[in-house]
A and B are shown apart, each in its own frame.
Chain A
Amino acid sequence: MRADPLGRSSALRTGRHRHVKLLYFAWVRQKVGTSEEVVTPPASVTTVSALVDFLRQRGPGFEAAFANLKTVRVAVNQRHSGLDAAVGPDDEVAFFPPVTGG
């Protein structure tokens, strides 16, 4: 897990609410049924991978969206990231299919 340059892990220890902003695009948005939301995952959720596991339990739409992680890409704070990337309070995490612009 990469080090958090903003030292957000200290917020975890103090136990303040860990709001994470989530964005969904293209078919991921259609499957989960929303384009944007703020969630408060449990303190044990410190990586994208753990966040996905948390989201999967929220209903069939989420289960469908994350059924095959090979088809889902992720960005943390608007940077392409992997499943092992760290997620902390106030981060913005986006899930989407491989990009097809141009």
Chain B
Amino acid sequence: MSAIRVQTADFDPGEEIAKLGGAEGTTGAIATFTGLVRGDGGLIAMTLDHYPGMCESEISAHVAAAYTRWPLLAVRIVHRVGRLTPGERIVFVGVASAHRQAAFAACEFLMDYLKTSAPFWKLEEREAGSNWVEARAEDDASVKRWQSP
């Protein structure tokens, strides 16, 4: 079972965790990541641009890849778009599995691919003006660890 949403509205991490399951008795671990807007260097706001359709299909492809790699029971991903201010939630990745190793690993795997392949772009707004965030080499390096045999 997986759910992928791209939306302007905020989300409730607690509600997402509850929906990851557990009541059926087979889930032993739920690992989640919640990303927030950091107010670094006088950041006023961050506006997320995205490619509707392709975002969902890219994320779905990596969720499918995660299911083939680890014994997962559920995955929920929420990514917000539009204008967000410091402290606001941007992204949620939640993974349920029987054991923690699979849940932790799949959560990191999905986050790494979300950052390097899902078509979202951040525009930072500061007193001095607006700038598009540049892709980070560290993010490309993070995703490479999943590509070695």
**Which residues in A have some Cβ–Cβ distance to B below 8 Å?**
23, 25-27, 29, 75, 78-80, 94, 96-102
Contacts and interface: CB of A to CB of B under 8 A. Distances in A.
25 contacts: A23-B51, A25-B50, A26-B49, A26-B121, A27-B132, A29-B49, A75-B54, A75-B119, A79-B54, A94-B51, A94-B54, A97-B135, A99-B116, A100-B120, A100-B121, A100-B132, A100-B133, A100-B135, A101-B79, A101-B114, A101-B115, A101-B118, A101-B120, A102-B111, A102-B115
Nearest to A26: B121
Interface of B: 35, 48-51, 53-55, 57-58, 79, 90-91, 111, 114-123, 132-136, 139
A59 to B, nearest CB: 21
Q: Is chain B's interface secondary structure helix, strand, loop, or mixed overall?
A: mixed
B122 A101 contact: yes
B135 A101 contact: no
A25 B123 CA distance: 11
B120 A102 contact: yes
Contacts of B91: 101-102
Contacts of B53: 78
B51 A102 contact: no
Contacts of B54: 75, 78-79, 94
Contact of B134 (A78, A79, A100): A100
Given A26-B132, A99-B120, A101-B118, 17 more contacts: A23-B51, A25-B49, A25-B51, A75-B51, A75-B54, A79-B54, A94-B51, A98-B134, A100-B121, A100-B132, A100-B133, A100-B135, A102-B35, A102-B79, A102-B114, A102-B115, A102-B120
